[in-house]
Amino acid sequence: MKVEFTAAQDALRKELRTYFENLMTPDLKAECDEAMGEGGGPLWREALKKMGKDGWIGVGWPKELGGRGMSPIEQFIFVEEVMRAGYPFPFLTTESVGPQLAEHGNERQKREIVPKILAGECLIAIGYSEPGAGTDLASLKTTAVKDGDGWLINGQKMWTSLAHFCDYVWLACRTDPEAAKPHKGISMFMVPTSDPGWSCSPVHTLGEVRTNATFYDNIRVADDAMVGELHGGWKLITSQLNRERLSLVNFGPTAEMFNNVVRWAQKLDLPDGGKLIDEAWVQINLAKVRAGVEALKLVCYKQAWAMTEGNLEMADASAAKVYGSEFFIEVYRLLGEVIGEASLISRRTEGANPIASRIERLYRTASIITFGGGTNEIQRDIISAAGLWMPRASR
Amino acid sequence: MDFGFSEQQRDVQNLARQILSDNVTAEKLSQYDDYKAERFDRELWQKLADAGLLGVAIDEEFGGMGFGFFELGLLVEEAGRTIAPLPLISHLISAALPIQQFASQTQKQVWLPKVASGEILLTAALSEAYNDDPAQPYLTLAKADGSDLLLSGEKTNVPFAHIADRILLAAKTSDGVAVVLLDPKADGVSLSAQQVTTYEPQYVVSLNNVRIGAGDILASGTEGQALMQWIAERTTVALCAHQLGTSDKAMRMSASYTAERKQFGVLISTFQAVGHRAANCFIDVECLRLNTYQAISRLDGGLDATNEVQIAKIWAGDVGHRVSYAAQHLHGGTGIDRDYPLWRYCTWLRHNEMALGSSAKTLAKLGKRIAAGEAFCS
């Protein structure tokens, strides 16, 4: 066991940090701020393509798939750095659906879609939840019905985030309504958002992040739009979610925010002399964040390492997701307290402190991932069952 | 970055787990309850010595296995898992390791081979009344007398002082800290037994003009202070490793209990509220595990680890506290019944939480380092 980065990994972190310092121009930063951390703008797209061209998006992917052949740890280092730089990285596409396509996709998907993902030229949204199917995802009703040499897709999805600027939806459809168990009648499809039968309408959220309701009206796709086996979608969904959970709780942005608040508090003068950081309660708040970030870093990297070894444990992925998502909420409170009332001032105010206004935005988005990506109650069910072998209730 | 155990580490872990789990039973532990007998299983101690485990981190030239601090940490974790009645931390980490690192060749020759063989017992006096910072003694003073030192003062909570062959002990001097090896039978030393929550034998060691010969002085001045800091960090991390084993076992005991206990005609593990309390423990223990391994790994690799040790101790305190009460609660009355083994774990979880600095105190220390710009996230 060597929990430290190797010299090569340290060098990679440095290289990437410099790379992103250069990439994140003020214009790009402004555009990303305007998109509330989602991306999708023209400069954002350009930057993504540049990362692709420079070989970063697939740094941990095998060479035969167009990657650089390094390990998932290097891939995670890349994602950590890109997110730390404040770039809204489309990790759902690159870190969760992409690897599923590379592993389970058919020849056409591997030939046409995977290289585009690594080039930063293809974006994919996730189509799981429906108005009546959230935590009980296997009860989903969107259907794909065999139609000659293709499939006819009809239904509605909810919370299809990023779909308004994505090229495909990774769509879970019911293909066997008679299946003995509902999760055994689900298949996965890559549905192009360019189809005339596809439409979306925005849902605006507390954190100003846009998400979508998406509609599928008699969309006809060819046989080779299916991913993996017929009725074999559930396995793809759960392993996509395991990967997504790790990406959701990336610690890079929090580490950066902590450092920024410390530097700011070291400089801020108090009315009675001294600096804000001299206050005992400020030091305690910061120490709580620091100790928590360290755990998050280790939890994330342990899983990146487990992927290298090919044994990402379900309980560990769920533990990371629960810990990270609930910790983020605490972080925005603890750091918000340090900053005080200024952490209520929006970035739209002229002269707003960017560190404070970032917290003003993030505290409003923090709840998303305690239920998104698989609600934490289900994650805790998974942990007690898979991690502690506790028999659970049947549902 | 490698989170896997090496073959050598796995061997040490398996060997320690096997010997300890075969030999430590609830029945055996019960004989030490309420100080009915001295909480030290000498037969088991000898088994560990015979298997080479007491010398796991002692250099080969002194009869040890010559492995590193990581392997030693794994041994301590297993001792925590079984709450083995053995003075492993005080003997091996607080006393033998610094002798190996800082003592003269002669001193090493005298002590280390017998440490590995189990023939002698060492301990360390790291605390004074209301002062648990080993590097800042102020109630024990040393003054020079020629090349000797004369020590006066008082140490508290010294494990196994009554049977130790030497006690590693620090005293304040005019120019820093003197670190010495004290013979508890020397003139001017008196011991008084303390009864503590774990039933470990602990003593107040009082010193009245105790003469320490030059050969028994390990370091002095600022060097002495650095040495005590070195010991403090390693002992703190050892407490974390012990806490890891203890909390992991208490958690698993609870999970198993809920998978057997029925109420309303069903296993209580099937209640979501029960499963989730256990899941919280799982997350906690994982965070403690990774932070502990990180601190050990850095110390093992000779890297600076002050922040990482403090963070591990904060987790050790918080996780120990939370797991202890979750485990008791999930067991219902069984958890506190002295005929069931869990309660002893709870006393050790509390011990490891409070020893050498609670979470609150350690958070404050880390906070000071953050303020000084010494603890940025890399």
**Is 2.60.40.1930 the CATH classification of the domain at A126-232?**
no
CA distance A322 to chain B (A): 8
pLDDT band at B133 (very low <50, low <70, confident <90, very high): very high
A393 touching B (Cβ < 8 Å): yes
Residue B71 CB contacts under 8 Å (≥ 6 apart), including other chains: B8, B9, B12, B56, B57, B65
Report how far residue B195's alpha carbon sits from residue B207's, in angstroms, rounded to the nearest whole number: 20
What does CATH list as the number for A7-89?
Answer: 1.10.540.10
* Terminal CA-CA length for chain B: 15
Contact B3 A302 (CB under 8 A): yes
Name every residue whose Cβ is closer than 8 Å to that of residue A52 and which is 6 or more positions away in sequence: A118, A119, A120, A121
CB pairs under 8 A between A and B: 172
pLDDT single digits (tens) A52-62:
999 999 999 99
A272-277 average pLDDT score: 96
The mean pLDDT value for A363-377 works out to: 94
Quick one: average pLDDT of A127-150? 96
Q: What angle do CA B325, B328, B330 make, to 5 degrees?
A: 105
| Locus of tokens 């000498």 | B42
Query: What residue ranges do the domains of chain A occupy?
Result: 7-89, 126-232, 249-387
What pLDDT, on a 0 to 100 scale, did the predictor assign at position B288? 98
Does A7 lie at the interface with B, CB-CB under 8 angstroms?
no
Among the partner residues B4, B297, B375, nearest to A290 by beta-carbon distance: B375
DSSP string across A173-198: EES-TT-SSGGGGEEEEEEETTSTTE
State the CB neighbour count (10 A cutoff) for residue A64: 8
pLDDT in tens, A159-218: 999 999 999 999 999 999 999 999 999 999 999 999 999 999 999 999 988 999 999 999
Give yes or no on whether B7-120 and B124-219 have one common fold.
no
- Contact at CB, A294 and B294, closer than 8 angstroms: yes
Q: Is the pLDDT of residue A34 over 90?
A: no
Average pLDDT over every residue of B188-203: 98
Where are the domains positioned within chain B?
7-120, 124-219, 224-371
A350 to chain B, minimum CA–CA distance in Å?
29
Residue A395 — very low, low, confident or very high, per pLDDT cuts 50/70/90? confident
pTM of the model: 0.96
Q: Closest Cα partner for A31 from A85, A87, A79?
A: A87
User: Could you tell me where the beta strands, DSSP code E, fall in chain A?
Assistant: 124-127, 143-147, 150-157, 168-174, 186-192, 198-204, 210-222, 226-227
What pLDDT does A308 receive?
87
Reply yes or no on whether the pLDDT at A37 is more than 90. no
Flag if A381 and B275 touch (Cβ within 8 Å).
yes
pLDDT tops 80 at residue A386: yes
Confidence check: pLDDT of A49 > 80: yes
Residue B148's Cα: distance from chain center in Å?
31
Which residues fall within 8 angstroms of residue A112, CB to CB, at 6 or more apart?
none
Taking Cα atoms as reference points, which of A32, A60, A61, A30 lies closest to residue A44? Answer: A32
pLDDT at A118: 96
Chain B CB contacts of A287 below 8 Å: 314, 363-364, 366-367, 370
Pairwise CB contact (< 8 Å): A283 & B308: no
Confidence (pLDDT) at A312: 83
What architecture (CATH level 2) is domain B7-120?
Orthogonal Bundle (1.10)
CB proximity A323 to B under 8 Å: yes
pLDDT score at A242: 84
Which residue of B lies nearest to A263 if distances are taken between CA atoms?
B373
- Find the closest chain B residue to A317 by CA distance: B283
Architecture of domain B224-371: Up-down Bundle (1.20)
Distance CA(B291)–CA(B302), nearest Å, equals 17
Work out the percent of chain A whose per-residue pLDDT is above 70. 100
Phi, psi dihedral angles at B25 (to 5 degrees): -125, 160
Confidence of residue A38 (pLDDT cuts 50, 70, 90): confident
Q: How confident is the model at residue A311, as a pLDDT?
A: 83
According to the model, what pLDDT value does residue A394 have?
84
Highest CATH level, class, for A249-387: mainly alpha
Q: Residue A390 and residue B367: Cβ atoms within 8 Å? A: no
B167 has a pLDDT exceeding 80: yes
Q: How confident is the model at residue B112 (pLDDT cuts 50, 70, 90)?
A: very high
Mean pLDDT of A34-43: 85
Q: What is the mean pLDDT of chain A?
A: 95
A6–B301 CB contact, under 8 Å: no
Instruction: Write the pLDDT tens digit of every residue in B142-152.
Output: 999 999 999 99
Option in B5, B303, B363 nearest A284 (CB): B363
- What are the tens digits of pLDDT across the range A212-244? 999 999 999 999 999 999 999 999 999 898 888
Helix, strand, coil in percent for chain A, rounding step 5: 55, 15, 30
* CB-based contact B243:B298 (threshold 8 Å): no
d(CA B326, CA B330): 6
What CA–CA distance (Å, rounded) separates B204 from B202? 7
Q: What distance in Å separates the CA atoms of residue B14 and residue B75, rounded to the nearest whole number?
A: 9
Q: Looking at residue A313, what is its pLDDT?
A: 87
| Mean pLDDT on B52-69 | 97
CB contact under 8 A, B269 and A390: yes
Which residues make Cβ contacts (< 8 Å) with residue A28, sequence separation at least 6? Answer: A43, A44, A47, A87
Strands B202-212 and B148-159: antiparallel
Nearest CA in chain A to B275: A384
The answer to whether A88 and A35 are in contact (CB under 8 A) is yes
Mean pLDDT score, A283-311: 94
Q: What is the pLDDT of residues A61-102, one digit of tens each?
A: 999 988 999 998 999 999 999 999 999 999 999 999 999 999
User: Is CATH 3.40.1500.10 what the domain over B124-219 is classified as, yes or no?
Assistant: no
A291 touches B: beta carbon within 8 Å: yes
